[in-house]
Amino acid sequence: AQSVAQPEDQVNVAEGNPLTVKCTYSVSGNPYLFWYVQYPNRGLQFLLKYITGDNLVKGSYGFEAEFNKSQTSFHLKKPSALVSDSALYFCAVRDKGGSYIPTFGRGTSLIVHP
């Protein structure tokens, strides 16, 4: 079975400060990992993914994520937050050798204060 945990329901950060949204996962094999963002009344938008290779993955809008196999984590980061980054963020995982369907975390609401 595969699972994803986003331990924080909400993250608050001041504009200009670095942000981190946490994600840990569990799969029986090797993972494919994804981050999506959802703005109010919209569908999810793909931000970035880890398949293999470099543990630091760069994505859209200045976001990046670091894959840590030993800690089974895939935290989303951005060096300098913008008010417009305020949204709901979802982490998702697929097991390379397992289910084709991704498992999503429950989401983390990011609030960036001016």
Partner 1 sequence: KAGVTQTPRYLIKTRGQQVTLSCSPISGHRSVSWYQQTPGQGLQFLFEYFSETQRNKGNFPGRFSGRQFSNSRSEMNVSTLELGDSALYLCASQTSGGNSYNEQFFGPGTRLTVL
Q: How far is the CB of 9 from partner 1 (least distance, A)?
A: 11
CA 21 to chain centroid: 7
Spatial separation of the C-alpha atoms in residues 9 and 63, rounded to whole Å: 19
Check binding of 69 to partner 1 (CB under 8 A).
no
Contact of 86 with 15, CB cutoff 8 Å: no
CB of 58 to partner 1, least distance (A): 15
Among 13, 25, 81, 94, binds partner 1 (CB under 8 A): 94
> For residues 15 and 104, which CB has a smaller minimum distance to partner 1 in the complex?
104
The pairs formed by 62-67 with CB atoms below 8 angstroms and a separation of 24 or more are 63/35, 65/33, 65/35, 67/33
When binding is defined by CB under 8 A, the residue of 13, 27, 36, 76 that contacts partner 1 is: 36
- Looking at 17, 29, 42, 69, which residue binds partner 1 (CB under 8 A)? 42
Options 12, 14, 18, 51; binder of partner 1; rule CB under 8 A? 51
Burial string for 57-78 (b: 16+ CB within 10 Å, else e) reads: bebeeebbbbbeeeebbbbbeb
The binding site for partner 1 (CB under 8 A) comprises 32, 34, 36, 41-46, 49, 51, 90, 94, 96, 99-107
